[in-house]
């Protein structure tokens, strides 16, 4: 069985976690397959956006507990290497130069919650649920913590990381974690509409905007930051993509990347 199904849809590629009987738990092989797909499509200029979804009833149940039991008996060096694999995957996903959408149709627990948090957009079905049960298992949501704090906000992250209680899709949207919460039958349609909006933007501009967001998200507003942001615009404005975009606007035509 293919652990990660790859489905091209126009200029986007949909990546389907495919361990439905294990609720798409992220074992080492699935993490590797997802990392390889990210590397492959980063290099492909024809692919403008990615969508991550899950087969079966769940989006992703997080880490593979059977593997975690094995990891508990590993040496400290090997156990850290095991954990670092997922940390690198999340970091790669968060800094990915192309937009990434999490399609959450069911449960997104533990590492699955963190996987969604590391994406640029989270679109969920109304029946989706989120949960961080680690502390109830004697564990800690460590690698996913930074992404949860940024996506949920510090106070909400504190609540759900420490209590392990479930978070409904409606409440996740109220907290600002979800970008859209729709009936299950409308989930793909809503994501396709979002992808269409993203395809209207210049690909280099999107990558630059993501880098800028990462830089300014928690940065204090200082004269140095003002200078840095001015430099970003000056550099982008001088590029071929900006010249094409401005020219297309003034000439009342679509830019070449659409």
Active site residues: 134
**Cα–Cα distance for residue pair 19/1, rounded to 1 Å:** 9
Contacts of 136 (CB under 8 A, 6+ apart): 164
Beta bridge partners of 24: none
How far is residue 246 from each of residues 146, 229, 236, 253, measured CA to CA in Å? Answer: 37, 20, 12, 10
* CA–CA distances in Å: residue 44 to residues 11, 13, 47, 62: 10, 11, 6, 28
Q: Among 112, 147, 132, 119, which Cα is nearest to 218's?
A: 147
């Amino acid at each position: 069985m293919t652990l990660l199904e790859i489905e091209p849809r126009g200029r986007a590629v949909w990546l389907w976690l495919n361990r439905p009987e294990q609720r798409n738990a992220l074992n080492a092989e699935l993490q590797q397959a997802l990392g390889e797909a990210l590397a492959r499509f980063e290099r492909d200029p024809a692919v403008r956006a990615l969508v991550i979804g899950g087969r079966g009833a769940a989006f992703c149940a997080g880490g593979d507990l059977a593997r975690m039991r094995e990891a508990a008996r590993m040496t400290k060096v090997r156990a850290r290497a095991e954990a670092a694999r997922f940390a690198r995957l999340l970091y790669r996903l968060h800094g990915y130069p192309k937009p990434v959408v999490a399609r959450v149709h069911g449960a997104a627990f533990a590492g699955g919650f963190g996987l969604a948090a590391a994406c640029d957009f989270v679109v969920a079905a109304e029946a989706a649920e989120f949960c961080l049960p680690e502390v109830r298992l004697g564990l800690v949501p460590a690698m996913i913590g930074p992404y949860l704090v940024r996506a949920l906000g510090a106070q909400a992250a504190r609540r759900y990381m420490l209590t392990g209680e479930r978070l409904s899709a409606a409440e996740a949207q109220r907290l600002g974690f979800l970008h859209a919460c729709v009936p299950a039958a409308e989930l793909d349609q809503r994501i396709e509409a979002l992808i269409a909006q993203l395809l209207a933007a210049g690909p280099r501009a999107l990558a630059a905007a993501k880098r800028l967001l990462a830089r300014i998200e928690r940065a204090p507003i200082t004269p140095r930051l003002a200078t840095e942001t001015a430099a970003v615009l000056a550099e982008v404005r001088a590029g071929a993509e900006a010249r094409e975009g401005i020219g297309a606007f003034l000439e009342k035509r679509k830019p070449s990347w659409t």
